[in-house]
Amino acid sequence: MSRKLFGTDGVRGRANTYPMTAEVALKLGAAVGRYFRRDQSVAHRVVIGKDTRLSGYMLENALTAGLTSTGMNVLLLGPVPTPAVGLLTRSMRADLGVMISASHNPHLDNGIKFFGPDGFKLSDEAEAEIEALLQGEITLAQPENIGRAKRIDDGLFRYMERAKSTFPSDLRLDGLKVVIDCANGAAYKAAPTVLWELGAEVIPVGVTPNGKNINDGCGSTHVDAAADAVLNHGAHVGICLDGDADRVMILDETGAVADGDQIMGLFAQQWKQEGRLAHDTLVATVMSNLGLEKYLNSHDITLKRTGVGDRYVVEEMRSGGYTLGGEQSGHIVMTKYATTGDGLIAGLQFLAQMVSTGKPASELRQVFEPYPQLLQNVRYSAGSDPLSAPSVQVAIADGEARLAGTGRLLIRKSGTEPLIRVMAEAEDASLMQTVVTDICAAVETAL
């Protein structure tokens, strides 16, 4: 069964443009409501969270209308991090969780992610079944069975208490000056509050959302603002979240950045020492640096790679019983604490390492020397398939041959934007640049 609406992380696109329209959201709400409300004799509930995008109001209302039309009772959480939706879906015995967010994308984009009753994102198979329901007539509830909707006030509090509980009970953040950049997004209330309540002196950045400034010059994809704050305030560390707070980047006291690979490497080595790393294995995607793989192997830790997307990391972790995984982009998944990537909880684990070891962030930030890595994007129009062009395939084959034995090449379509992503790693940075440039040029010519 083909899947045309769902990408690697739910449904995503430009707001008020297909598929991110109120009309589609209403139909999607009805379809997913019908999919989960299979037993008509009992009440069903769904929790809906969102980030701070202006279009979130429109999509929230449309989804609510669709869900209640099939008899689902809707609990509206308001702005909360994505991992809070996973947590609350399970803890509140909801049948379904929905997060309205386009994560690290600009405010003009938005997206809809679904969580099952276990708090984990839906599988490809479930999404395909929901998409099939969209193609036919959706059976609506009888008038007396239409669902209700209400806002709840304690969802964010529940999440904050859960996040604090992951920090070792015998440690405090007293004496630590922490910059927290919330990207003007979903964690703008939760993250500074949690850090302050654990004892830190907090310097907040990106905590004044206006509906249009999410991820705008701030957050995990734009760390300069937080780096400036670290230096200007003499902070010990900086924590940069993205718009829905499921990603994190760490800054040391000099403003230097630790990406997801470095954070995972630090945690994996420490967890193995403590006997917490299940099967001595870290799960990461094909995007993770070769330097991480070599570092892990030197500590007798296996790196198991998946396709791109934190959902696929989580699926592999669940099937293999692994406890730690994530992505270079900053999704850090710790199944003991959350059902998906959680930037705030990952930041707290890094702070716990600082406090327990007495080491500054600069000594923990880089645990391996990364291979030179280059990622370039080429935008393409809907309906085109430049990767199938013979000239592009020849360029890719030539690049693979030139990197053989000294690096690797990864070319793929983005699952969230109309982009061809061309990534290479190599010991020879000049060769890597040439290979990537040649392939991008071939793609552009094909377009």
pLDDT digits (tens, 9 = 90+) for 161-182: 999 999 999 999 999 999 999 9
214 shares a domain with 145: no
Averaged pLDDT, 108-125: 95
115 shares a domain with 38: yes
228 shares a domain with 141: no
Task: Report yes or no on 337 lying in a domain.
Answer: yes
Q: What is the pLDDT of residue 384?
A: 83
278 shares a domain with 236: no
Q: What is the pLDDT of residue 39?
A: 63
407 shares a domain with 340: no
Q: Give the end of a domain, one of 227, 254, 281.
A: 254
Catalytic status, residue 103: yes
Angle at 251 between CA 249 and CA 256, to 5 degrees: 115
Report DSSP letters for 275-343, one per residue. Answer: T-SGGGEEEEETTS-HHHHHHHHHTT-EEEEE-SSHHHHHHHHHHHT--EEE-TTS-EEETTT-SS--H
- pTM comes to 0.90
Task: Report yes or no on 1 lying in a domain.
Answer: no
Q: For residue 283, what is the domain's CATH number?
A: 3.40.120.10
In this predicted model, what pLDDT tens digit does every residue of 64-103 receive, in sequence order? 999 999 999 999 999 999 999 999 999 999 999 999 999 9
Which one of the listed residues 69, 101, 103, 329 is annotated catalytic?
103
Task: Express the helix, strand and coil content of the chain in percent, nearest 5 each.
Answer: 40, 20, 40
In this prediction, residue 2 has a pLDDT band, given cuts at 50, 70 and 90, of very low
Residue 68 DSSP SS3: helix
Task: Report yes or no on 387 lying in a domain.
Answer: yes
C-alpha distance from residue 140 to each of 47, 71, 115 (Å): 20, 8, 22
Pick from 174, 4, 167, 161: which is nearest to 84 by CA?
161
Count of domains in the chain?
A: 4
Q: How many residues does the chain have?
A: 447
| pLDDT at 41 > cutoff 70 | no
134 shares a domain with 26: yes
355 shares a domain with 383: no
15 shares a domain with 143: yes
Cβ-contact 13, 109 below 8 angstroms? yes
In this predicted model, what pLDDT tens digit does every residue of 241-298 receive, in sequence order? 999 999 999 999 999 999 999 999 999 999 999 999 999 999 999 999 999 999 999 9
Q: For residue 420, what is the domain's CATH number?
A: 3.30.310.50
In this prediction, residue 406 has a pLDDT band, given cuts at 50, 70 and 90, of confident
Residue-number span of the structural domain to which 342 is assigned: 260-364
> Around Cβ 49, how many Cβ atoms within 10 Å?
32
In this prediction, residue 308 has a pLDDT band, given cuts at 50, 70 and 90, of confident
107 shares a domain with 36: yes
Question: Which class for 109: exposed (0-12), middle (13-18), buried (19 or more C-beta within 10 A)?
Answer: buried
In this predicted model, what pLDDT tens digit does every residue of 185-215 receive, in sequence order? 999 999 999 999 999 999 999 999 999 999 9
291 shares a domain with 240: no
Q: What is the pLDDT of residue 353?
A: 97
385 shares a domain with 346: no
Task: Report yes or no on 218 lying in a domain.
Answer: yes
354 shares a domain with 302: yes
